[in-house]
Amino acid sequence: MEIRIKLLVRLLGFLSFSLILFSTCEKRFDEYYKVPGDLIGTILDVLKEDGNYSQFIRAVELVEFDNVLGKTGNFTVFAPDDQAFMEFFNETGYASLEEIPSEELRGIVYYHIVFWAYSRYMLLYGLNVQDDEIDYTTLNFKQPTRFRPPLTQEFDTLGRVFDVYHETKFVPVYSSEYFKELKLDAAANYEFLYPLSPFAGFHVDRAEVTEYDVPAQNGWIHRINRVLQPPPNHDDILEEMNEYSTFRELIEKNTYYQYSISYTTAQNNDGDIDEDGILDSLFLKMNSVFPTGTSPDVENVAFNGYQNVLTLFAPTNDALQQFMSDRTRGYGSINEIGEFWINWYLSHYIGTNYWPSQFSSMTTEWEWDLTSTLVDCNIAPADIHFSRMASNGPFCGLNKYLLPRIFESVAGPIMGDKDYEWFTDMLVFYLVDKLLNEENLNFTLFAPSNQALRAAGYIFRTGIGGYGLYNDKSPLTPVSPQVARDIVNTHLVFGELQPEDFEEGTFIEASQNTYIGVRPEGIFAGGDLSNSSLGPPEPVSGKGMLYRIDRMMVSPNLSIFGILSNPGVYQQYQKFYQLCFQSGLIVLDENSLPSSLDNLSVGTSYTCFIPTNQALEEGIASGLIPTDKDSLQQFIRYHFVEGVIFDDGKKSGTFNTTRIDEESGYLFNTIEILNVKHDLRISDQQGNIRSVVTPNHMAENGVIHQIDSYLLFE
């Protein structure tokens, strides 16, 4: 191709100027893009002069875009030569361009045209200058083309109709530099996605760029050796291929239509196309199973389609059926699995920026959320049923199912079991699965069935408040996340408990520092004193022990302060709370409401010994309980001990109280605990022995015991 090189410098200056001006509307090309007459020709002029692009030029004319490419604008054109069109006709069976349906031909032409003028250097690095001191990046490897699929009308499950906007297709530009920056094998990745196109260093979609940086008045031309067709996105592939119909039906249940103000107002007349005064709203087809900013139909992946790709591993119908057979129990079909559980499972097949050369080493080399929660997810060639590069990222159809790691945790025996679906939902929803998946940790897990949750007055479901644990007393609002998380963690104990470890009258510390009590009839937690009967132990090799229980345990939902500050409910502590208030030990919030006890630190557990109301009244009457504020506060502080002590005979000896030692000013005074099983006593500094009369009122941050009289330090 003969080019007037001497005009190239002037052309580059003109193109830079055009980049600034092109922010205005396309329909005003003539006004803004008049060019000097002495420059080299337009894109069409240069293509005609070369003589090897007659078919592409004719295609441009048939779709009536020649009045743009041949006149004005600012474009990058990936131009297939005539030989490429001959191969295209052989591939498709078309005898000529005229046989191609007009909309299909329009898509083909527009997919070869990118807005803005990009040389090879600009395509790779995003800049039109070269400076050794600048650290360039090649990560913007995709560019938006002029092709956008037409609007469609779609209906949701309620029968509402939506005008669905399908975003502009991006065309990928692959280079050795790009794969080098990603530290990936270029040939392995490119040839996996385009098996009929050997990697040669610089490609656009499935075509090799055989000549690049051919300048024209209104852009750059890059010669390619194959005709490109706008590729389908993930949504299109799933719709076309029946072998993934089960997977598609399951994720389609989560489709929703999201109003787009930007695409709506970008329409003619600022979104009121027919000028009837009503905004002609456009919607994007989204899917709640997919990561934020992605869906099978979205091209601008994760809000940055220049860099990001959506990688979808789609299991075949047979693979999902094998998962049902191998890993679930009690379900008649996959459609019987609850909404939260099945959506959580399907989400393991979706990720962003996953490239084929890494499929075979995902569990050993990757640190992404997807693979960190999976076992045996490495993918070998034999596992791949079908693959192609969709317009929004790699699509990989699998003959195998992927398995979440929690299936091999201590929760393994109940995972996939219909009778335990709610509790396994809770393990995942409240993020306890992340702890269970930790290597080299053993646990004991108490697993309540769906029926056991109901017996305790709870269900796991989706409602007005969304997914979560619901109390039957508040059916419209889920239990607060913190309370629900504590309830779940009450069922988890660090270490492996054998049946002999459940000694009657003892207390077992749960994973979130509350406790489980042991009775002859079973176990219980402080928020619900009902017994939960233990099933036989089920050892899980290397992971711990699982016990099925017939009633869900409920952890305490009040702190020591929360219990004391409810004297109407806990009347047995009423007088003690009054003294706390009188002593100034209670901290008030900005509204002058009681908020906490000044002597209790966040994150520390305590044992509180509270005298009976009668004992306190007698102590006040006798003058043994001080009345001045400072002395009264020290008196109250002496009734709190750091650490958790139950009447199980386990802990005895000298313990720190929260009373401040007056001589040092910063140390704490101690007290002696005399602990025999079911006979807990306290010896104060004066030698008085006080007995616990009502033991083991569990709280979020410790335990309260009621004692028969008050404790004295001096």
The pLDDT of residue 113? 98
User: What percentage of the chain reaches a pLDDT higher than 70?
Assistant: 92
Structural domains in the chain plus CATH codes:
5-149+167-224 (2.30.180.10), 234-254+289-405 (2.30.180.10), 409-549 (2.30.180.10), 560-707 (2.30.180.10)
**pLDDT, average across residues 164-186:** 96
On the 0-12 / 13-18 / 19+ scale of CB atoms within 10 A, 543 is buried
CB atoms under 10 Å from CB of 497, counted, come to 21
Please tell me the least confidently modeled range out of 361-365, 650-654, 655-659, 686-690.
Answer: 361-365
pLDDT tens track for 434-490: 999 998 899 999 999 999 999 999 999 887 778 999 998 888 899 999 999 999 999
- Please state, in angstroms and rounded to a whole number, the distance separating the CA atoms of residues 694 and 705: 6
Q: What is the mean pLDDT of the chain?
A: 91
- Please state, in angstroms and rounded to a whole number, the distance separating the CA atoms of residues 516 and 549: 13
The pLDDT of residue 30? 47
CB atoms under 10 Å from CB of 540, counted, come to 18
pLDDT tens track for 317-370: 999 999 999 999 999 999 999 999 999 999 999 989 989 998 887 766 555 556
- Please state, in angstroms and rounded to a whole number, the distance separating the CA atoms of residues 656 and 659: 8
**pLDDT, average across residues 83-96:** 97
Instruction: Give me the residues paired with residue 384 across strands.
Output: 398
- Please state, in angstroms and rounded to a whole number, the distance separating the CA atoms of residues 277 and 156: 26
The pLDDT of residue 33? 44
The pLDDT of residue 463? 78
On the 0-12 / 13-18 / 19+ scale of CB atoms within 10 A, 131 is exposed
The pLDDT of residue 714? 83
Token duo for residue 345: 């499972």
Nearest to 50 by CA among 26, 77, 21, 86: 77
pTM score over 0.75 = yes
CA distances from 234 to 164, 166, 286, 379, 607 (A): 16, 13, 12, 19, 59
Token duo for residue 52: 């090897």
DSSP state of 357: G
Please tell me the least confidently modeled range out of 125-139, 226-240, 372-386, 569-583.
Answer: 125-139
pLDDT value at 25 more than 60: no
- Residue 215: which residues within 8 A CB-CB, separation 6 or more? 3, 8, 11, 40, 46, 221
Taking the C-alpha atoms of 534, 538, 540 and 543 in order, what is their torsion angle to the nearest 10 degrees?
20
Nearest to 228 by CA among 143, 145, 112: 112
Torsion sign over Cα 457, 462, 465, 467 = positive
